[in-house]
Structure 1
């Protein structure tokens, strides 16, 4: 009852006066708790630009109250309006919207004298922020409940036709699971487990003031939970668990939604938590200016950027500079720009070529530049025994640091670890890079698994087989692979991988690799003879996949006494011996330093 609640106050926008009101236990037709604002309470004179379209129903109510004289110009607060009589609103958010001329969460902005928000009193909630949820209603036993019932009647529901009566707000996971296990015993274990999680989320984790979304007719509809759960006997038991919702009057075309929100909405469950993209939802359909205007209705630290504005900060890959070109000794900045553009368009790229062409070095340096530092770059190296469990997630033996006992535990691989870091709030506009060295040395279909799908469809998610978690690749995660064509020809790479990656060649026959050693020698003030010898060597190798890259000769040890001969004998000639194994080729006579030096033109005076 009303006397159980203290008086709540609301600071009007732009440092305005305090309005006061009381929560009641009286419920409206859809189950929302009503809220009463007494006479003589201040009301904002104007409204935010987005108010008439974003919450059209509250805007219409406000106009009716002003027209009827229930809200009049204020003599107490010049330039403001005030209530001329007590007004009962359908929910705290409706009351706050009418008074502030803004779309606000009444359960957060109405506060008791001790600073606690209203939601802590009506739901027994903690100080944790409000959550966001997706509840599916566009195909419930063949009907679009969202269009038929939820939107017109102001509610959301969950179809659990076999669940007994007695479901109440705040039930524990164990209580819900016991009911589901008994009432749905004919269903599979996985179905019972999923249903129990969804029912518990709907009944106990959802609170008044939480955001709720649903999809219908290709549009996303957004609303706010305005009351506790109710269990009723509904037609065909398609909506026997219900909650009241204040739906916004505008919807958002699915095709125009941000990619990270689409990923979450693609999860195939009836109830999905969307709190990680709450800020994205809050900003839908609003400009930055409108977001700031709405935020003025809430007491907050003005020095902190609004989460909705932070969430929409654009992901960018910086343009390569001439300085980077000089550092990497690349022949042309335009070539680096093309690689950057390929990464931007495809999100996945493979640098391929013979050994020693600088593939890994270039991948790391380019990723560090584009990502803003080494903290955003993770490197893994594939090998023949590398598996999905190493890369994504798997059950691995782990030692307990306290007991030192070893047990098998679910362990994240480097991909999930980096994806989690890239998905954190405040990181989503920062590029993150996963470098996969020697990508073609592993069984790619075995290592990538369902990730092959995610690499192509970045706006979708999948359920991982070990953890059962819903997983998607964040838009700001880029993958750069390196492929040694001497180990396995690029022609042997399967079509699935070819379709998902852009391929960039690093070969001694083309730039930026063909002139790399010459540019490096010039930068070090060294004689160009090693570059001439390398060019002569590669001209004698018919198979382009086995030509020798310049990095073998870009080390300090090569230029100590006898270093060039030693490197040629121990690094380069063994590669060629393996290439010509069984062919009877005299490696020294064909590729030795003495033979190559004799082939070089005499230096001019």
Structure 2
């Protein structure tokens, strides 16, 4: 009965007066509990900009009450309105919305004199922070219940045709598991029963009044607010045995226009999906940045905080490389760096390929740090592939782990570097910040084995897939970029397959083209060193016929090279062994052909200026998206 509840209070904004109301057990047509506000209670005079969009029925009711003088100017509180009569609202949230002039969760905003929310006094409900849910209703055994029932009757339903009667809100997952195993014994597979338990538990025990609920129908996303408890009832068509009252917004949002991170979550195939991780994105749908800012000011949020929807609205962007970065990396032209940046922006995945020593890994790390906002370790992660590398190492798998309390060692599901970085990039507040995964020697692993079902996500970033081990729905965040490096001299590894070629853009780093061909000479000039090492490297590469085995400049860009005997030592121990391997079995005298004495004889004479017997460098080339042969 109504007198079983204490009196509840609602503070109006701007330090305004306090309104009083009482909860009832009388159910409205959609199952919400009605709420009563007596005469002489204060009402806010204005409304926030989004009120008509976010709570259209409450907005219309407020306008009607004002037109009919059920709400009028207040003589008690100047600048406010007040109720002229007792008003019975369909729910506590509707009452709060009309009085506050904005969408409101009445279950938490109406409080007792001691500050306890209305939700504390409602039976059989689970409480905590507001959450957002997706419930599928457009194809329930072939019917679109969204258009046929949900929007018209202001409810959301879940089919549970074989679930025994008497299952109440707040039931434990363990009890539900027992019910489902018994009630659906021969009519569902084990996997279907597990999914059903998860969906039923979310609908009955995790959802609560004040939560947001979404659904998709006719290519549009519809959004509403749950306004009451779950009910189990008979359903003639067995499609809507479980029901919750919902106040729906009147217009849906075109699916194709939704933000990418929201489309990823909506692509999950479960009947009930927790969308709380993108709750702020949903809150901002249909509102411009200016409207969000106006609403934030109207609601008078803590000025030290930030409106979540505004945070979620921040656009992802990759900084444009500057001339300073080009100078730091000794790149010949900043346009080359900017084109690599554009490839990353368009494709999300890039591979830097070329012979050893061309600076592929160094450039990948420096680019990631510059484009990701600094060398913060959490945003840039490097892994190195090798022939034994597997999906379980890269993404997730069961590994032996010691329990921190008992010391017991057992196999536990453990995330790999990609899962860890993706989870970090997908956190609320991080989605506008670029994150980078660098995969060194990407062609040394069995890529189909390492990536598994993730290959699909590299190409379709707006979709999610069901994971092999955790059974989670997973999508690659749009702010996660992948930079791979590939050594073209490593002929022991099979050629890159067509699936990878389609998913990555390829950028060549070769001694025959810029920025690599002139890199050592530019570095020597900055370091005020003699140009002889660059001349020797050009002469060496002119004698190597196979472009994939030409030597990159990074071997000669170390301080140790320029100590006494350092150049000769580096040449003998670093460069010549590479060429020994290349010409193995051919009977070539490597020292005579590629040694320093032989190369120095080809350089111009210091006295006569005789030209070197070397081939001229090939002209600079822009980054290419062609896959190496």
TM-score range, shorter chain: over 0.9
Whole-angstrom CA distance in 1 between matches of 2:278 and 2:405: 36
**Alignment check: 8 A CA contact 1:132 1:211 kept:** yes
Whole-angstrom CA distance in 2 between matches of 1:82 and 1:47: 14
SS at match of 2:353: strand
Q: Corresponding residue for 1:399? A: 402
**Alignment check: 8 A CA contact 1:48 1:290 kept:** no
Q: Corresponding residue for 1:22? A: 22
Distance 1:210 1:351, change over 3 A: same
SS at match of 2:400: strand
**Alignment check: 8 A CA contact 1:11 1:297 kept:** no
Q: Corresponding residue for 1:97? A: 97
Q: For each residue in 1:324-353, what CA deviation from the matched residue of structure 2 results, as whole angstroms up to 9, or x when unmatched?
A: 111111111111111111111111111110
Of 418-427 and 505-514, deviating more is 418-427
Counterpart selection for 2:500 from 497, 500, 504:
497
**Alignment check: 8 A CA contact 1:454 1:472 kept:** yes
C-alpha deviation, 1:293, in angstroms: 4.2
Q: Corresponding residue for 1:170? A: 170
Whole-angstrom CA distance in 2 between matches of 1:124 and 1:148: 29
Q: For each residue in 1:440-477, what CA deviation from the matched residue of structure 2 results, as whole angstroms up to 9, or x when unmatched?
A: 00000000001110111111111111111111111111
C-alpha deviation, 1:143, in angstroms: 0.1
C-alpha deviation, 1:62, in angstroms: 1.4
Whole-angstrom CA distance in 2 between matches of 1:91 and 1:29: 11
Q: Corresponding residue for 1:337? A: 338
Q: Corresponding residue for 2:232? A: 231
Distance 1:230 1:299, change over 3 A: farther
Q: Corresponding residue for 1:527? A: 530
Counterpart selection for 2:422 from 404, 419, 424:
419
Are 1:185 and 2:185 counterparts? yes
Q: For each residue in 1:97-119, what CA deviation from the matched residue of structure 2 results, as whole angstroms up to 9, or x when unmatched?
A: 21222222222322222333323
SS at match of 1:284: coil
Q: For each residue in 1:115-171, what CA deviation from the matched residue of structure 2 results, as whole angstroms up to 9, or x when unmatched?
A: 333233325667621111000000000000011000110000001111111111100
Counterpart selection for 2:479 from 459, 476, 481:
476
**Alignment check: 8 A CA contact 1:36 1:86 kept:** yes
Q: For each residue in 1:55-108, what CA deviation from the matched residue of structure 2 results, as whole angstroms up to 9, or x when unmatched?
A: 222222112211222111111122221100010111122112212222222223
Of 280-289 and 386-395, deviating more is 280-289
Whole-angstrom CA distance in 2 between matches of 1:38 and 1:429: 47
C-alpha deviation, 1:286, in angstroms: 1.4
Whole-angstrom CA distance in 2 between matches of 1:531 and 1:35: 83
Whole-angstrom CA distance in 2 between matches of 1:465 and 1:412: 13
**Alignment check: 8 A CA contact 2:126 2:205 kept:** no
Distance 1:488 1:35, change over 3 A: farther
Whole-angstrom CA distance in 2 between matches of 1:410 and 1:490: 30
**Alignment check: 8 A CA contact 1:432 1:478 kept:** yes
Q: Corresponding residue for 1:449? A: 452
Q: Corresponding residue for 1:204? A: 205
Distance 1:206 1:275, change over 3 A: same
Q: Tell me the matched-pair count.
A: 605
Q: For each residue in 1:266-323, what CA deviation from the matched residue of structure 2 results, as whole angstroms up to 9, or x when unmatched?
A: 0001000111111111111112343344446657423200111111111121111111
Counterpart selection for 2:605 from 572, 596, 602:
602
Whole-angstrom CA distance in 2 between matches of 1:15 and 1:336: 54
Q: Corresponding residue for 1:214? A: 215
**Alignment check: 8 A CA contact 1:102 1:297 kept:** no
| CA RMSD, Structure 1 to Structure 2 (Å) | 1.7
C-alpha deviation, 1:590, in angstroms: 1.4
Q: Corresponding residue for 1:48? A: 48
Distance 1:297 1:42, change over 3 A: farther
User: Where does 1:255-404 land on structure 2 (aligned, <5 Å)?
Assistant: 255-295=256-296, 300-374=301-375, 375=377, 376-404=379-407
Of 100-109 and 494-503, deviating more is 100-109
Of 64-73 and 168-177, deviating more is 64-73
After TM superposition, the score normalised by the length of structure 1 is 0.97
C-alpha deviation, 1:602, in angstroms: 1.2
SS at match of 2:357: coil
After TM superposition, the score normalised by the length of structure 2 is 0.93
C-alpha deviation, 1:398, in angstroms: 1.4
Structure 1 unaligned runs (5+)? none
Are 1:7 and 2:7 counterparts? yes
SS at match of 2:35: strand
Structure 2 unaligned runs (5+)? 610-629
**Alignment check: 8 A CA contact 1:398 1:407 kept:** yes
Whole-angstrom CA distance in 2 between matches of 1:489 and 1:507: 20
